[in-house]
Amino acid sequence: MNLRAGSDTGDQAQVGRLAELERETHRIRDSVAGTTGSAESPDGLVEATVGVYGELVELILDPRVFRTPDADALAEQIRSVVNEARAAAQDGVRRDLAKYLAADADGPAGLAFQPFTRLLGGGR
């Protein structure tokens, strides 16, 4: 009786699962990398595009924004638009990767870790 043969088959299956996990990880990474979200202020004077990790990709300020010299209000408007754009980017990733995310996976931590723990057989 060759006990080693059964072990080899189990090892090969594990290697196959790890290879599939690696392929899926690369696919997810590539999918997420280019995801952006955009938002615009209610008055249309500030527009932002943000990547899924929060990086500011583009900020457009309409020249009319400078007609009212209120730096605090402008800063608040920019912050608000950037945060809305970030949320839009993360929502896009959640929609695209819904099959990997638990219903309660929320925020960047859920986006970053939940797919991998599920693929490895772990719960939340």
- pLDDT at position 56 is 95
Q: What is the CATH number of the domain that holds 112?
A: 3.30.1310.10
Counting the structural domains of the chain, the total is 1
- pLDDT at position 49 is 97
- pLDDT at position 111 is 57
Classify residue 70: in a domain, yes or no.
yes
Classify residue 124: in a domain, yes or no.
no
pLDDT along the chain (124 residues), means of 10: 60 86 83 89 96 92 93 96 94 79 60 63 57
User: What is the value of pTM for the model shown?
Assistant: 0.63
Classify residue 11: in a domain, yes or no.
yes
- pLDDT at position 1 is 47
Classify residue 54: in a domain, yes or no.
yes
Classify residue 80: in a domain, yes or no.
yes
- pLDDT at position 84 is 96
How far apart CA 120 and CA 112 sit, in angstroms, is 14
Q: Which domain holds residue 88?
A: 3-119
Classify residue 102: in a domain, yes or no.
yes
